Chain A
Amino acid sequence: MTSRRGTLLHVEDRDVYCRNGCQFYGNPEWEGYCSKCYKEIRAKKQLKHSQSETRAPTDFLKFEEKKSRQKSNKTLKNLIKRANTIKENATFLNASSGPVLRDKKASDSLALLSDDLHKRLGFKQELCHEFVKVLNNTLEKMEVFFKKNESMESMSDMVQDAYQLIYDKAIQVTESISATEAVELCEDFLISHTYDVLFGVLSSEEETRDLGVLQRIRSLHWVRAHHLDVEIDDIHPTVKEFMDEASTQLIFIDSKRSPREKLYCVIEAARNIFKMLQAAPQSKSQGGADDFLPAMIYVVLRANPPRLHTNIKLVTLFSAQSRLRSGESGYMFTNLCGAVNFIENLTAAQLQMPPEEFESYVSGKAVPTEDTLTEGARMMYHNMAALKELNLRQNRLADATQQLKITLESLQKDIGDQVDGALKRSQKAASHHEYIVSADVDIRCVPQFMRKKITRIEGLPPIPVQPDLLSPDNAELPSPLIPEVLHDEPALRIEPKSAEGSDAPIAEADLAVTAGATELEAGAEEKTSLLQPMNS
């Protein structure tokens, strides 16, 4: 069928009509027959089948049937049984030995970590080995904790003690910044290595709260920025863009495997929130906490990030305290915690509305009437704004095009005029070209191409002909070297008489020189013409 579908672009008769040729339409579903023919053919096939069945010995068939049924039963049962054993095995594994944390992968990453500490932070090899030892010990202890099913808080204490130990070791040889960095590198390894187990336990502990927050945020879908005493213009495209980016970052938190990366997401989200607050042209926000915290709450409400409590708890319990106590990451994380806390404990009084009203909104019985912007409406506004903008640009473009057209037209006209003028002038000039020579000049002194155009005028001073050049003694001499003369150079130093008759007096000396040149040339031309057969 799929192959047929590929060729259906060119539908031929045999593709459309029944294969039996009964002039009804066929259908690939019915093997290319029409419904009537297909029914007949199927009935025939079934008849054949039943005939063969009846031919077979009945007791054997029954036996076969029973066997096959048994087989399927067995496999089903087996499946269930096998699943059970897997489950049992898994729980057994957990109960007896707990997860194995010190494996090949751990030792590999520890080697890398120690290398990193040595090369990047300049700790001595021995100290790096000590760090690795501490981390290995911690992993071992964590295995025990998991085995005994101890609380996450006690495990956190143990891990924090390990961080403190590493810090204390590091601070003896370096300053606090490097020591903090060392701790953070160790933390990065420890948590991302044990992430799956840790996160699994935490998420099962926090499941109810996670779901609770999820539900709560859903029920607060109607809360708008103005409820939270902040101005956010969701319709503005740039604002929306930053808000979407912030939401994305908040959602990303769940997918990151170490506190460092998770906190980085929080910071990124916060940065986008600040940008969002100040993106709208009429925004008065200075980026202070008065606006930032409500905006954070609003974005959390919009994004509804998954497993908030699990992630917050993981970061709180297992990240190096330097990250949380101080620095930008600590501040932003505190704000996220604050936002979650606020959302969970939100009351009608805080939003300054009657409790009944609040309840009816939360339970979904009512929806606030004012500015309930659904996603569709928001998109519409967004598109409308975009269209308006486009329209404006289009108009501007049209105006500019018109302007360009006018300019081009005038330019074309200008150029045309100029070209016309130039052409006319040159034509005039070309048709009236005359070379003025004195009447008594020897025609041989005039280049051939000029000879027809010369005008002889009486009274011009004679051109002194160099006697030696024309003397018969020189006839035998080879022709002198002559410069190449570009043909068709009317301005050949002989002043052309312009059509307008600007009869500037031709300078005597000038003419003399030119005459000499022409003379030379004429001689040369004759000589070269003589030489030509020899050359060829």
Chain B
Amino acid sequence: MGTENEYKVVLLGEGRVGKTSLILRYVHDKFNDRLDRTVNASYLTKTVALGMKRVDLAIWDTAGQEMFHALGPLYYRDSQGAILVYDITDEDSFRKVKNWVKELKKMLGNEVVLVVIGNKSDLESERSVPLHEAESYAKSVGAAHFLTSAKLNRGITEVFLHLCKEMIMKRARDGARRQSTGAGAQRNRLQVETSDDNAEPTRTNKCCSLI
């Protein structure tokens, strides 16, 4: 169920790298606006018109603190896109992105469109994650790499535009493949139990395991 235009995008990244600022900027075009605060900035929706196509994005923010890492699968399951955010001035946050990518690949296979974002590009002078390293890493895992600044509203629209295009293409490809292989819409029920090891086998998708 759910409409064919709906896409779920999950936002992953270490705490305080600017995930929330990023989507607030994208959806409401606000930055650190203390006077006009949006109450809920964890779950946001945005409709994007892409040529003749309409895309309803549902953006799920996640808590980035290390202690909540184990809860990740609850959030990223069934998502079509994942945005992995790191802070260009913080090497640790980049390492964290690598972890997330590994985990996502393991749990969701190639089902999900990945985008790696280096945020806070306005702090270029304090950069500690080399650009070429980040770019080559992103390429190696099949993800696009972007530099953004929520503060200066730089590069954010491009990220979502790219993501939307990729997700539409992916869904179209999958739909075609599903029809040809005859694999019907299978149900993957929400699992409450998410102790990291036992949730994994149920996640591997039928049509991907065929490849």
**Residue A337 at the B interface, CB < 8 A?**
yes
B192 within 8 A of A: yes
- Contacts of A289 on B, CB cut-off 8 Å? 11, 19-20, 42, 60-64
Number of A interface residues in the complex (CB < 8 A) = 52
How many pairs of residues, A versus B, come closer than 8 Å at their CB atoms?
139
A290 to B14 CA separation, bound complex (whole angstroms):
9
Q: Is A334 an interface residue (CB 8 A)?
A: yes
| Residue pair B1, A290 in contact (C-beta under 8 Å) | no
Residue of B nearest to A229 (CB): B65
Number of B interface residues, CB 8 Å? Answer: 43
Residues of chain A contacted by B39 (CB below 8 angstroms): 271, 274-275, 278, 287
Q: Determine if A326 and B40 form an interchain contact, defined as CB atoms under 8 angstroms apart.
A: no
Interface residues as binary, B1-36 with A (CB distance below 8 Å gives 1, 0 otherwise):
111101010010001100111001000000010000
Give the most central of A294, A309, A334: most B CB within 10 Å: A334
Interface contact A156-B15, CB-CB below 8 Å: no
Question: In the bound complex, do residue A229 and residue B67 qualify as a contact, i.e. CB atoms below 8 Å apart?
Answer: yes
A192 at the interface (CB under 8 A from B): no
Q: Does B190 contact A (CB under 8 A)?
A: yes
B192's partner among A179, A316, A325 (CB-CB below 8 A) is A316
- The main secondary structure of chain B at its interface with chain A is loop
Residue of A156, A177, A288, A312 touching B41 (CB-CB under 8 A) = A288
Residues of A close to B15: CB separation below 8 A: 229, 290
| Alpha-carbon distance between A229 and B16 when the two chains are bound, in angstroms | 11
Nearest CB of A to B119, in Å: 13
Interface centre among B39, B62, B192 (most CB of A within 10 A): B192
The chain B residue with its CB closest to the CB of A177 is: B3
Q: Which of A167, A274, A316, A322 contacts B190 (CB 8 A)?
A: A316
Contact B71–A290 (Cβ < 8 Å): no
Spot the interface stretch: A338-346, A359-367, A503-511.
A338-346
- The listed residue (B6, B16, B70, B194) touching A326 by CB distance below 8 A is B6
Closest to B60 in A: A331
Q: Does B68 contact A286, Cβ atoms closer than 8 Å?
A: no
Nearest CB of A to B123, in Å: 19
> Contact flags (1/0) for A235-275 with B, using CB distance below 8 Å?
00000000000000000000000000000000000110011
B40 touches A342 (CB 8 A): no
In the bound complex, how far is the Cα of B41 from the Cα of A292, in angstroms?
9
A76 at the interface (CB under 8 A from B): no
* Pair B37/A287 contact, Cβ less than 8 Å: yes
Q: Which residues of A contact B58 (CB under 8 A)?
A: 326-327, 331
Q: A163–B41 Cα gap in the complex (Å)?
A: 32
Look across to chain B and name the residue whose beta carbon is closest to the beta carbon of A333: B190
| Bound Cα distance A163, B185 (Å) | 14
Bound complex: CA A292 to CA B4 (Å): 29
Partner among B65, B66, B70, B74 whose Cβ is within 8 Å of the Cβ of A345: B70
* Chain A residues whose C-beta falls within 8 Å of the C-beta of B192 in the assembled complex: 309, 312-313, 316, 337, 340-341
Q: Smallest Cβ distance from A456 to chain B, in angstroms?
A: 84
Given the known inter-chain contacts A326-B6, A351-B67, please indicate yes or no for A316 contacting B42, CB distance below 8 A. no
Residue of B nearest to A274 (CB): B39
| B189 contact set on A, CB distance < 8 A | 156, 160, 316-317, 321
Indicate if B136 sits at the interface (CB-CB under 8 A).
no
**A290 is contacted by which of B3, B24, B32, B64 (Cβ under 8 Å)?**
B64
B140 interfacial by beta-carbon distance below 8 Å:
no
A180 lies within 8 A of chain B by Cβ: yes
Structural contact, B63 and A290, CB atoms closer than 8 A: yes
Contact indicator A331/B43 (Cβ below 8 Å): yes
26 residue pairs of the A-B complex, CB under 8 angstroms, read: A164-B187, A177-B3, A180-B2, A183-B1, A286-B20, A286-B24, A288-B42, A289-B11, A289-B60, A289-B62, A290-B19, A290-B63, A293-B71, A294-B65, A316-B189, A316-B192, A321-B2, A324-B190, A326-B2, A328-B43, A334-B60, A338-B74, A338-B75, A341-B193, A342-B67, A342-B70
